[in-house]
Amino acid sequence: MKARGNPDDRALPIRFGTSGWRGVLGEDFTFERMRAVVAAAGDRIAEAWPRARVLVGHDRRFLGARLAETAVRVLAGRGLRPVPVRGAVPTPVLASGIRRARAAAGLIFTASHNPPEYQGLKLFGPSGAGWDQVETAALERAAARWLRSGPPPERTVAAKSAELVSPYLDALLSLLDLDVLRDSRLHVVYDAMHGVGAGVVDEALRRAGVRVDVLRSAPDPSFGGAAPDPLPERLTALRRAVRLSTHGLGLASDGDADRFAVVDADGSVLSEMESLALLVDHLAGAGRVRRGIAVSCATGGLVERVARDHGLSVSFHPLGFKHLSAALLAGEADVAGEESGGFAFAPFAYDKDGILAACLVAELAASGREPLRRQLRALEKRLGASSSGRTAVPADAVALAGLAQLVTHPPDRVGTRRVREVFRSDGLRLGLDDGFLMLRASGTEPLVRVYAEAPTRALLAKRLAYGVRLLRRPVGR
C-alpha cells in the first residue's frame, strides 16, 4: 500500500505518541512502514532476549488479521518465536497474557479510540506495560533505518496460536467480590461500540452473576461510521437504555477496551474524574489500596482529595499512561488513572484496562446499593465539589500557532482567576486556585486538546470554551 498523494511513504517520519503508533491506513500506516517498525522492535527484543516469545494480536479494525500475520513472519525473520493470538482480542487481554505466557513482549494492531480510517500498533514489555518513551524513540530511529535499507526478511513459521480470553477472565473473576455482585439486583447495559470488548466485558459480568444487555456488539470495522470513543455524545443509545432499566448501570469501552465510561441510573455520564474518584474510594475503603495512587496532571482534584482522605499518597505525572505504568512498576502506587478513561490496578494490570475498570464499577454499584451520582454527592459534600472535562479542536495551523504562542507567553489570568502556576513540560498547564486549564497537542490524533477543572459544571464549560478561544485567537493578539 502506498500513501495516497505521496509517491514515497518512506519520507514520512514514524512517530509514536502517548500510546503507540497510529495513522490513517494507506497513508501514514502502510504495510511497508509496519514491517520496518516490527523489524526494529524485533531487533530490540532479540538483543535483550534471543529466541524469546512475542505475542502478536489484533482487534477488530480493518486488515488487523493480515497485519498480525505479516508481523509474525517479520519477527520470525529476526530470530524470535512469535505466538499469534487466537482471534481479535482486547488490548488488556494481550497485555495480561504476556506475563502468563512468560513472553518478552507483545504487539497488538489497534488504533484504540481513533476514527475508523486509522490503524495502529501498541507494544508491551514483559510486565504487560507499554514501552516507554526512551524505547519508542530508539524504535523510531531504527525503523527509519529499515525503511532506507529495504524490506526486512520474513520467515514462515507454523506457530500454534494462544487463547488468552479464558485465562484472563478467570484471573479477573478471582479479583472481584462475587458474593456482592451475585446478591445484588444490578442490571448492566454494556455498549461495546462495535469494539473488541464485546464478548469479554459482558461475559465477565454474566459469570459474576450480573444481568447484562449488550449494545453494538457486532463486529464492524467502520464502527457505525464514528470513532469508537465513549464520549457522552456517542452514548445516546446507552443512556436511553439505562434510563429504561431497573437497578441500572451503563458501561462502555472504546475500540480496544482499554478505556471505559460509566452511565448512572438516571442516564447521566460520569466524568472520568468522577469515575476514578469513586473507584479509589471503593478500593481504599475496602483496604485494597496501600501504596497510593498515580494520576496524570490533567486529572481533577477530587481524586487527590479522596486518596488523601484515606491516608494514601498521590503522585502526578505527564500525560500518557506509560508514565503511570512506571509508577506502578516501581511500587509507588497500586492504582493509576488518567483524564481520558484509563485505569489500572496492580498487580493485575500495569497498563490501562477498561474491562477491569468496568467490572470494578459494577462491584461498586452493587455494594453501594444506591446510584453512583448519590454516592458521588456524598463524597463531594465531605471533601469538596469540583468538575473536570476535556474538549478538542483540529490541529490546524491556527491552533498549533496559538498553542506555541501560549506556551511562550501564557496568560496571567483565566477568566477572573489569577494563574498561580505555569507548567510547560507537556503543552501548557495553568494552575489556578480553584482548578486548572491545560492545552496540548494530542499524541494520537491531529487534535489540540483542552482540559480543565472548575468548582462547578457551569464554570467548567466556560473554562473549556475560554481555552478554545485562546487557541483560535490570531497570533500576536
Statement: residue 257 has pLDDT above 50 = yes
Whole-prediction pTM: 0.93
> CA torsion sign, 373 to 226 to 300 to 345?
positive
Q: What is the CATH number of the domain that holds 400?
A: 3.30.310.50
Q: What is the CATH number of the domain that holds 323?
A: 3.40.120.10
Q: Which domain holds residue 94?
A: 9-163
- Cα 319 to Cα 226: distance, rounded to the nearest angstrom: 25
65 assigned to some structural domain: yes
Residue-wise over 71-110: b if at least 16 C-beta within 10 A, else e?
Answer: bbbbbbbbebebbbbeebbbbbbbbbbbeebebbbbbbbb
4 assigned to some structural domain: no
Q: Are residues 339 and 287 in the same domain?
A: yes
- State pLDDT tens for residues 60-103: 999 999 999 999 999 999 999 999 999 999 999 999 999 999 99
Domain end marker among 163, 185, 205: 163
Q: Are residues 355 and 268 in the same domain?
A: yes
- State pLDDT tens for residues 28-70: 999 999 999 999 999 999 999 999 999 999 999 999 999 999 9
Q: Are residues 365 and 232 in the same domain?
A: yes
Domain end marker among 163, 188, 206: 163
1 assigned to some structural domain: no
Q: Are residues 431 and 375 in the same domain?
A: no
Statement: residue 4 has pLDDT above 50 = no
Q: How far is CA 215 from CA 225, 253, 258, in A?
A: 16, 11, 18
φ, ψ for residue 224, nearest 5 deg:
70, 15
Query: Which range, of 2-16, 308-322, 343-357, averages the lowest pLDDT?
Result: 2-16
Beta strands, E only, 125-219: 187-191, 211-215
Q: Are residues 183 and 79 in the same domain?
A: no
Q: What is the average per-residue pLDDT within 402-429?
A: 93
**What's the pLDDT band for 246 if we cut at 50, 70, 90?**
confident
Statement: residue 477 has pLDDT above 70 = no
Q: Are residues 123 and 252 in the same domain?
A: no
Q: Are residues 272 and 130 in the same domain?
A: no
What is the residue whose three cell numbers read 474518584?
Answer: 277
477 assigned to some structural domain: no
- State pLDDT tens for residues 130-178: 999 999 999 999 999 999 998 999 999 888 999 999 999 999 999 999 9
Statement: residue 1 has pLDDT above 50 = no
Q: Are residues 230 and 307 in the same domain?
A: yes
Residue 6, pLDDT score: 47
191 assigned to some structural domain: yes
Domain end marker among 319, 353, 383: 383
| Longest pairwise C-alpha distance within the chain | 66
Q: Are residues 19 and 155 in the same domain?
A: yes
Q: Are residues 331 and 450 in the same domain?
A: no
- State pLDDT tens for residues 110-119: 999 999 999 9
Number of domains in the chain: 3
Q: Are residues 96 and 172 in the same domain?
A: no
Residue-wise over 151-169: b if at least 16 C-beta within 10 A, else e?
Answer: ebebeebebeebebbeebb
pLDDT higher at 218 or 475: 218
3-state secondary structure of 15: coil
Q: Are residues 346 and 420 in the same domain?
A: no
